[in-house]
Amino acid sequence: MQFTSSSIGRKILMAITGQAMVLFVVVHLLGNSSIFGWLNGGINAYAEHLHSLPLPIIIGVRMIMLAIVCVHIWFGIQLTIENRGGRPQQYAVKSTQKATFASENMIWTGSLLAIFIVYHLLQFTFQVISPETAALKNLVPLHSEMVPNVQGMVVAAFKNFFVSFIYVGAMVTLFLHLSHGIQSFFQTMGWSNDKSQPLIIRLGTLVALGLFLGYVTIPLTIFAGILKG
């Protein structure tokens, strides 16, 4: 049986692509946190630094990320449909012992995140949601150069309650998705046993919580007026 048609093979692909995205999310948070000013020039400098990378690298990374997301979504949907068929008739009484809200709703948290990613890309990458604050159109000086005003765009966006709300909501979803996803990676790859597993479960939840807190700080501090443009 082909790896990509076997049950465990597809699970392993889910796990690897998922974990790749976790790594991306970690790096992304580190980059975003430059908005708090630890990098000389803040998030504008960080964005400019990324954009100044050679074009093939930028396109390459984006293509790889796109492929990863597609594989994760494709197999995620496929496996979920199969699994729904695994027990065609539900029990009259639902009683779960170990399953969690997070583990039972991966497809829904995943779907919400997918929608969020599209929204997020439209807003901050393609900058088509609020053209008037688009960074590419509002250049600001940085080290004797004119660069896109990412900081201004982000702050303007998060000043809006609904935008902040969507982002915080998305991060709650991310937390749920990863609290099951991270520990699941180790189990699916076969890198856990009875002793390490409880630890991995706790660690996975902790990482998910860290990412959640890290990310929500940005919209929350902006909305609260602590972080200004």
Assess 111 for contact with other proteins (CB under 8 A).
no
Q: How many residues does the chain have?
A: 229
Contacts of 110 (CB under 8 A, 6+ apart): 72, 73, 76, 177
Question: Which one, 173 or 180, has the nearer CB to other proteins?
Answer: 180
The only residue of 4, 7, 125, 130 in contact with other proteins, by rule CB under 8 A: 7
Q: Of these, 21, 106, 113, 153, which contacts other proteins (CB under 8 A)?
A: 106
Segment (H or E) for 41: none
Q: Strands, DSSP E only, in 149-193?
A: none
- CB of 82: closest distance to other proteins in angstroms? 6
d(CA 159, CA 225): 8
Identify the burial level of 187 via C-beta atoms within 10 angstroms of its C-beta, where 0-12 means exposed, 13-18 middle and 19 or more buried. Answer: middle
β-sheet bridge partners, residue 131? none
Q: Is 98 helix (H, G, I), strand (E, B) or coil?
A: coil
Could you say which of 55, 56, 194, 226 contacts other proteins (CB under 8 A)? 194
Question: Does residue number 132 form part of the binding site for other proteins (CB under 8 A)?
Answer: no
Residue among 4, 83, 125, 130 that touches other proteins (CB under 8 A): 83
Cβ proximity to other proteins: between 8 and 50 the closer is 8
User: Dihedral sign, CA of 154, 158, 162, 163?
Assistant: positive
Stretch of 24-32, 56-64, 186-194, 219-227 lying at the interface with other proteins (CB under 8 A)? 186-194
Segment 196 to 225, residues that bind other proteins, using CB under 8 A: 197
- Chain contacts with other proteins (rule: CB under 8 A): 1, 3, 6-12, 79, 82-100, 103-104, 106, 180, 183-184, 186-194, 197
